[in-house]
Structure 1
């Protein structure tokens, strides 16, 4: 085991060339749990919680044997990740699915379905409205698993195949992730690198809009094929271009906080208004729906359409409007400080909220781990169980569910029963999430993630192409663009400077590349499956998204390479 004294304390020191002092060999060993996880889901088709737990065990073994990490430290780092997997991530899933189930049980979702169908019955356009635009709004307001969980559940309620709904929402989530949760992924890079968040925001805003224009087209292409995609090109262009232009303008002139929220709202409104004046020549439905229609007599097809008043439609959508409001409030920076008990201002209301947040915030040190590991710079790494219950986005969603109880007039008894049913349904998905986040924490604490990053950094003149792959790996492992940016930001800056690449471009590449890894991240897969009732079928969803993830990160790599070598005028 490798230890050294720092400030009089004996600390475990991360060794990124732990296997024979060779970076390449160490990287191969560090890849074992990653490759195993790919194999477990894509080839062996294990259930998510089994794949997650077994991957965690393999990571622990490698951390202890190859990286010489003390057993106690390795195990405690796994518990730190597992706790984070439950709060806030698992808590968001529980609250999101619970809110959705309330609308289903009370019949309100039938009205929601009807209202969406009244805009368009075309499945292609419904995917653009719900998965792309509405999902991006939720990403900008809350982040974590809320966008995929809620938008995928909505699509399933509309009649989408659960696997398709989950897969489409994961792919659609690519466009907004870099600026998710009020710009936190971008802001997070300023601290470790010293480069202003607004400068990084500008550069991301000159990369992602290309992807944002492409994603709506790509979604429809996956759903319907080339010919049926061309039929709705006008709608695709309205959706994608309105989003991309707003994303560019806000990221370059306002900063990283609002691109997702404003882009998604502009895209949603623009497409809804456009569809009032334009309709596709052919209504696209899934094959199963077409077969059902073909076997139904003409007499059965002709039916009286349901009609709902504006008030009924507003009431049905109210739970999600309330959800939008609570999540947006939770995302306001000063409110977020108060909710976590760290507000230092003088506003009376925020001080009151702060007192509640303080009472419901717990940060116990992780035994055997807190300040016991030295990073590459020799600085002790703090390790705490971060339990900010009041500040968690899941609590905002639960409050929306409590308000919904009165809107939909469900009894407290049935409200509690529905909540219990939700907990029962999600026990295995939550176990999956806890195990894969535990795996992420073990790889970070042992130094495995940094080993992989350092290996990619050795690609020299090709580094601009591979720099997005660092973010891709980081998000795959951690499930978070914010975490991936914190993990590799300094490495990106140092490597870029050494090869003559603008560090701002490298940092933006890390975030932009990271968004393409979100759709294959183990915790994202688990969240999506939990939301649509596919617990235990994570392997199917992984097989659906992996090819798209690789394709999109290659596109980002090409964009960054061109910006570094040909289109350098695009760098702020």
Structure 2
């Protein structure tokens, strides 16, 4: 069967013209959500269709290959990404249905009733922990659902969790984005980890403050500056130390735990002078003082609080176990050691892992380096993070004591609620795959690489663009890592800085990535309102990527001593 060679100057034999055409689906998606305010699944499907037409007409990719590439992306959108969302929302719903979430809510209120500090604890610290352990949408889904349960506006909860998720993304899922980019660039993961660890801590100090400013404005943020500093500085210092001395695997998990415990302990000795509640709550408080006094009278025992939190503690334990590199290999049937338990898991994992070739696409695309591109459906049923969350839900069933009938009804209800978000995710990941396999995304990357002496400033934008398209810092690093290294070398920039900037710039693109938006909306019950969330996050994404661009340029010119 014929092969397809990617051509990055397919339109008029000109890179600039080809890049303009490659930009059309992205600009359309921005327009569809930000201006036209389309429902997410309609915007996703139409963006995919436009990308498919351009891949065939402008980039001369055979139609059957374009279709199979979209199919490969859609399958990846459902497993592992869609699967994580279904199981995360399901686990959260179990705690709500059984009344355990009321106790969780009460326990958070006993630490602090202040909404600003709740956002720091849940969106920033707990979200970062889940990012470090699982990645792929689980942190935003679970932390946003928790905030909604606490009484946050769903749109606000989703937006705040997406923005808070900026700090940990580069080291997410046990450091996969940085470990993965070692392959295409040949730069040791430890070197990239060190450099990213000399960029992101500045963002990690800033993000908690920025979150609270978005919520309440500068004056109200200043009132809780001690808490903001404890949260951000403890996270940033741990992130710097662990990324520079331990490697890329643990910065998120350690930083999140240190930040969470530091803030919780600090709140035992310090509380803000005025408790901030949302305007609507203040009105309710004024009219129903009796209700508030009643809520304060209800106190739960340590055992009841532990039981209520146990589904999330079980989830944390299982997801952390799933993330251990040797266990990860066993779960997909690739463990080669001598441990009997891991061997048994590997046997089951191998039987539940299917990696069939994508028909008509596998090794049929020739990329810019002249290599054939493998195209496989990766169906890792046991290894998927969603399966870990489902197991946590099964164990939690016995803890929260819900009947099998209600357990299954809740699962069915979750599937029904999430049908449109799953279609959205399938469509936008399909779009990412078509853009990559046709060569459109590389065309955009190559045109940015033509910025010459200004490349150190524009280098993070490549990562930002990569994460916007693919929804993943790992994918963006694999997509543009080699291009960053080659371009950096040609313009006299340190390749380690350029590859790190790809990862650091990428984290700011996560909050506007179509699949992240779809995941967040699904988690808080806002299916169909993706345009509102996109409009909420786009300005913050552009502002934060600009900060990373300035930082990278300064590290290239003035602070080059920071490069390892």
User: What's the TM-score, normalizing by structure 1?
Assistant: 0.98
Cα distance, 1:295 vs structure 2: 3.0
Show the counterpart of 1:158: 150
Q: Name 1:547's counterpart in structure 2.
A: 539
Task: Determine the C-alpha separation between the residues in 2 that align with 1:378 and 1:192.
Answer: 14
CA distance in 1, matches of 2:173, 2:96: 27
Residue 299 of structure 1: CA displacement?
Answer: 4.5
The answer for the alignment partner of 2:135 in structure 1 is 143
Question: 2:530 is matched with which residue: 538, 541, 560?
Answer: 538
Alpha-carbon shift at residue 10 of structure 1 (Å): 4.3
State the 1:302 CA deviation.
3.3
C-alpha contact 1:341 1:355 (8 A) present in aligned 2 = yes
- The alpha-carbon deviation at position 301 of structure 1 amounts to 4.4
Q: Would you say the 8 A contact 1:41–1:542 is kept in 2?
A: yes
For 2:8 and 2:180, the matched residues in 1 are separated by 24
**Which of 434, 454, 458 is 2:446 aligned to?**
454
Shift of 1:294: 2.6
CA separation in 1, counterparts of 2:293 and 2:374?
Answer: 66
The answer to whether the aligner puts 1:249 opposite 2:241 as a matched pair is yes
Q: Is the 8 A contact 1:357 1:391 kept in 2?
A: yes
Aligned ranges 1:156-555 → 2 under 5 Å: 156-296=148-288, 298-303=289-294, 304-555=296-547
CA deviations 1:479-530 (Å, max 9, x no partner) are 0000000000000000000001000000000000000000000000000000
Deviation at 1:305, TM superposition (A): 1.9
Deviations 1:411-447 (A, max 9, x none): 1111011000000000000000000000000000000
Q: What is the SS of the residue equivalent to 2:4?
A: strand
Q: Describe the SS at the equivalent of 1:302.
A: helix
- For structure 2, the 5+ residue unaligned runs are none
- The 3-state SS of whatever aligns with 2:3 is strand
* CA displacement at 1:94 relative to structure 2: 0.3
Q: How far does the alpha carbon of each residue in 1:73-121 deviate from its partner, in whole angstroms, 9 at most, with x for none?
A: 0000000000000000000000000000000000000000000000000
Deviations for 1:109-156, whole angstroms, at most 9, x for unmatched residues? 000000000000000000000000000000000000100000000000
Q: Which moved more, 1:284-293 or 1:58-67?
A: 284-293
8 Å contact 1:468–1:509 — kept in the other structure?
yes
* Within-5 A mapping of 1:60-79: 60-79=52-71
Question: What residue in structure 2 maps to residue 4 of structure 1?
Answer: none
Q: Cα 1:299–1:404, aligned 2, differ >3 Å: closer, same or farther? A: closer
Matched residues in 2 for 1:180 and 1:503: separation?
22
Q: Using the TM superposition, give the Cα deviation of residue 377 of structure 1 relative to its aligned residue in structure 2, in angstroms.
A: 1.2
For the residues of structure 2 that align with 1:173 and 1:300, how far apart are their CA atoms? Answer: 35
Corresponding residue for 2:558? 566
What SS does the corresponding residue of 2:217 show, helix, strand or coil?
helix
1:36 alignment partner in structure 2: 28
Kept in 2: contact 1:64–1:71 (CA 8 A): yes
Residues 266-320 of structure 1, C-alpha deviations (whole Å, 9 max, x = no match):
0000000000000000100111111222333x44543352110000000000000
RMSD across aligned positions (CA): 0.8
Post-superposition offset of 1:387 = 0.2
* Alignment check: 8 A CA contact 1:11 1:380 kept: no
**In 2, distance between residues paired with 1:193 and 1:325?**
34
Q: Deviations over 1:446-476 (max 9, x none)?
A: 0000000001101111111100000000000
Q: 2:319, 2:338 → 1: CA distance?
A: 23
Q: 5+ unaligned residues in a row in structure 1: which ranges?
A: 1-8
Q: Is the Cα–Cα contact under 8 Å of residues 178 and 515 in structure 1 kept in the other structure?
A: yes
Rounded to whole Å, the distance in 2 between the matches of 1:459 and 1:487 is 19
- State the number of aligned residues: 563
Q: TM-score scaled by structure 2?
A: 0.99
> Post-superposition shift, 1:345?
1.4
Structure 1 distance, partners of 2:428, 2:507, is: 18
